[in-house]
């Protein structure tokens, strides 16, 4: 019962209470959410409920190996390398959805031994071919190789020398599955003499589930994104309805709305992928971005000509970004390697040219490069670039900046939800409160200023802001901290300049000779 002020018995009491007295920012723990469809036969999985997944193997068993959601989770684990928790939300396939289909059509008979080098979504299947292998045998052997790989995203049927394949998951997803033979001749890939193959690309996949229902299941109003997910990736490709739904849920523009609302303060970021080749691919992306200039949630990452699935590229990249920011909120992503992502042919890579990359980033498109045969990240950006916001003030443009903003919001919320700010009393000057118990709960403007100053120093100490003096000057301005009109609390407005995302260096060597 404790020793109270009216206790009569002698005794000694001792205890400890863990209370936050210092306003200090901690790095926000990252949580990645993957949304996609599953094998319809997996009836025991609740739909549109966030669930933690512990391994790709668990995802294969529970959701269906080779199906959209399981493959996205596998890609996310590759990027995260077990450094962040990964959650999923399963959705049913859209009503009337159709599977994409394509084919490998073999002709001829081998006149020399060799190998068949076929790829599905960038995954290489090497089929030994002896002299005399027929087209029908080649198609059957390729089907067997794909069937023996449960995570493969397609199933196949052989008909007179042709392997007809269909995506396991219905919808636009399947159109992103690449089929190829001899994709990398520079690695020695070539069909045996006498055998030929015509590849028909995957097409006719149709149907996209409503991501709006999944987002609504994460919470609405002041309870939106109640689980605090910091990033989201999905398998619905560049579907504009999906992009719009995510942008609206997070909150468009430059205002405190949706997840940026001051009663929520839990925004997340979202990334999609693209593999379209050459200048036409860049043009298509700039067109897409131009439709979404007020979108501070979504971004798209280009790996031109890659045989890897674009949504899986995005899942791996975003997971890698989240893992970096789990340690350092301000960490950038330049030269982060995307393990196993196919680089595509050199001729397709418009991202190798600085001028093209610069145009892409200015147009709201994330870029990659290929270095030593590996795909690496460069700038990863959002679509956000409204005409009303100067480029130098566009903090929402950079995905890295979004990480810092998430941390600033989380730090402020944690501070003002701490013990110091529970059940407090608003007064003009705490010095006027002489009763010790009452003074412990009394707060005035100077108390807010003290906490904001401590937060500024903490943000600067972590490298989140460029200049603490700028923010301190903002805090000193008249009206920066005010008592609410109803006297029920305080309103503080502090300006920050985020630290810069490094990556551009100009070094000039001045030389001469005698």
The percent of residues in the chain predicted with pLDDT above 70, rounded, is 96
Q: What is the mean pLDDT of residues 411-438?
A: 95
Beta bridge partner(s), residue 118? 125, 181
Cβ–Cβ contacts within 10 Å for residue 186, how many? Answer: 8
Residue 248 CA: distances (Å) to CA of 89, 220, 257, 267, 292: 19, 12, 9, 11, 11
> Do the Cβ atoms of 471 and 477 come closer than 8 Å?
no
**6-15, 139-148, 334-343, 411-420: least confidently modelled range:** 6-15
**Which of 347, 360, 237, 383 has its CA nearest to residue 302?**
360
Q: Name the pLDDT band for 508 (thresholds 50, 70, 90).
A: confident
Q: What is the mean pLDDT of residues 283-288?
A: 96
Q: Which helix (H) or strand (E) holds 133?
A: none
Q: What is the mean pLDDT of residues 342-365?
A: 95
Longest dimension (CA), the chain: 105
Report the distance separating Cα 463 and Cα 473, nearest Å.
Answer: 18
| Residue found under tokens 């609740």 | 46
pLDDT reported for residue 22 = 67
Q: Residue 182 pLDDT more than 60?
A: yes
**Model pTM?**
0.93
pLDDT reported for residue 1 = 55
Report the distance separating Cα 249 and Cα 470, nearest Å.
Answer: 32
Helix count (H) and strand count (E) of the chain?
12, 20
pLDDT digits (tens, 9 = 90+) for 447-479: 999 999 999 999 999 999 999 999 999 999 999
pLDDT reported for residue 505 = 65
pLDDT reported for residue 115 = 98
pLDDT reported for residue 15 = 63
Going 215 to 219 to 221 to 226, the CA torsion angle's sign is negative
Q: What is the mean pLDDT of residues 368-393?
A: 94
| Residue found under tokens 């989380």 | 410
Report the distance separating Cα 229 and Cα 106, nearest Å.
Answer: 47
Residue 354 three-state SS? helix
pLDDT reported for residue 6 = 67
Q: In what order do the strands lie in the sheet with 101-108?
A: 154-159, 162-167, 101-108, 195-203
Beta bridge partner(s), residue 337? 376
pLDDT reported for residue 19 = 54
Q: Which helix (H) or strand (E) holds 313?
A: helix 310-327
pLDDT digits (tens, 9 = 90+) for 156-174: 999 999 999 999 999 999 9
pLDDT reported for residue 221 = 95
**9-23, 57-71, 77-91, 119-133: least confidently modelled range:** 9-23
Q: Name the pLDDT band for 507 (thresholds 50, 70, 90).
A: confident
Q: Name the pLDDT band for 303 (thresholds 50, 70, 90).
A: very high
pLDDT digits (tens, 9 = 90+) for 30-78: 999 999 999 999 999 999 999 999 999 999 999 999 999 999 999 999 9
pLDDT digits (tens, 9 = 90+) for 88-100: 999 999 999 999 9
Beta strand segments in 344-462, E: 368-371, 374-377, 425-426, 442-443
> Do the Cβ atoms of 494 and 480 come closer than 8 Å?
yes
Report the distance separating Cα 278 and Cα 161, nearest Å.
Answer: 33
φ, ψ (nearest 5 deg) of residue 399: -60, -35
pLDDT reported for residue 509 = 79
pLDDT reported for residue 514 = 66
> Do the Cβ atoms of 116 and 199 come closer than 8 Å?
no
pLDDT reported for residue 119 = 98
φ, ψ (nearest 5 deg) of residue 232: -140, 140
Q: Residue 201 pLDDT more than 90?
A: yes
Mean pLDDT of all residues belonging to the chain: 95
| Residue found under tokens 């959701």 | 63
Q: Is 244 exposed, middle or buried (0-12, 13-18, 19+ CB in 10 A)?
A: middle
pLDDT reported for residue 18 = 55
DSSP3 helix / strand / coil % (the chain, rounded to 5): 35, 20, 45
Going 48 to 28 to 322 to 56, the CA torsion angle's sign is negative
**Which of 273, 266, 205, 267 has its CA nearest to residue 233?**
273
Beta bridge partner(s), residue 134? 109
Q: Residue 152 pLDDT more than 70?
A: yes
Report the distance separating Cα 410 and Cα 268, nearest Å.
Answer: 12
């Amino acid at each position: 019962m404790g020793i109270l002020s009216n206790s009569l018995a002698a005794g000694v009491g001792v205890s400890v209470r863990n209370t936050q007295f210092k306003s200090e920012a901690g790095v926000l723990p990252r949580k990645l959410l993957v949304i996609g469809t599953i094998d319809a036969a997996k009836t025991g999985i609740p739909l549109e409920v966030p669930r933690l997944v512990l391994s790709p193997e668990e995802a294969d068993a529970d959701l269906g190996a080779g199906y959209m959601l399981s493959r996205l989770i596998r890609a996310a684990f590759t990027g995260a390398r077990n450094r962040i928790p990964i959650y999923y939300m399963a959705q049913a396939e859209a009503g009337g959805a159709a599977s994409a289909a394509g084919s490998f059509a073999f002709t001829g008979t081998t006149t020399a031994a060799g190998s068949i080098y076929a790829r599905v979504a960038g995954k290489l299947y090497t089929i030994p071919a002896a002299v005399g292998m027929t087209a029908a045998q080649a198609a059957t052997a390729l089907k067997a190789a794909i069937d023996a790989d449960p995570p493969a995203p397609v199933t196949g049927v052989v008909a007179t020398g042709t392997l007809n394949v269909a995506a396991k998951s219905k919808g636009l997803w399947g159109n992103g599955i690449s089929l190829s033979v001899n994709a990398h001749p520079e690695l020695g890939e070539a069909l045996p003499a006498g055998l030929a193959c015509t590849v028909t690309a995957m097409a006719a996949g149709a149907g996209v589930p409503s991501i709006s229902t999944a987002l609504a299941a994460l919470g609405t109003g002041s309870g939106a994104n109640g689980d605090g997910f910091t990033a989201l990736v999905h398998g619905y490709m560049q579907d504009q309805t999906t992009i719009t739904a995510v942008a609206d849920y997070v909150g468009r523009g430059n205002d405190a709305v949706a997840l940026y609302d001051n009663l929520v303060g839990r925004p997340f970021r979202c990334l999609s992928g693209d593999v379209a080749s050459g200048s036409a691919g860049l043009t298509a992306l700039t067109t897409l971005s131009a439709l979404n200039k007020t979108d501070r949630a979504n971004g798209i990452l280009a790996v031109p000509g890659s045989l890897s699935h674009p949504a899986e590229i995005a899942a791996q990249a975003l997971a890698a970004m989240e893992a970096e920011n789990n340690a350092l909120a301000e960490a950038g992503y330049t030269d982060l390697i995307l393990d196993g992502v196919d680089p595509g042919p050199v001729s397709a890579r418009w991202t190798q040219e600085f001028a093209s990359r610069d145009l892409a980033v200015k147009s709201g498109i994330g870029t990659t490069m290929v270095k030593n045969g590996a795909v690496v990240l460069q700038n990863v950006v959002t679509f956000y670039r409204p005409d009303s916001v100067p480029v130098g003030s566009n903090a929402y443009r950079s995905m890295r900046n979004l990480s810092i903003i998430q941390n600033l919001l989380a730090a402020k919320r944690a501070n003002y939800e701490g013990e110091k700010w529970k059940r407090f009393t608003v007064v003009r000057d705490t010095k006027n409160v002489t009763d010790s118990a009452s003074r412990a709960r009394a707060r005035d403007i100077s108390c807010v200023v003290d906490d904001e100053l401590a937060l500024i120093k903490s943000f600067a100490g972590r490298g989140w802001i460029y200049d603490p003096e700028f923010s301190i000057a903002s805090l000193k301005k008249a009206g920066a901290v005010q008592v609410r009109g109803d006297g029920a609390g305080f309103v503080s407005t502090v300006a920050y300049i985020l630290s810069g995302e490094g990556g551009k260096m100009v070094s000039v060597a001045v030389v001469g000779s005698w």
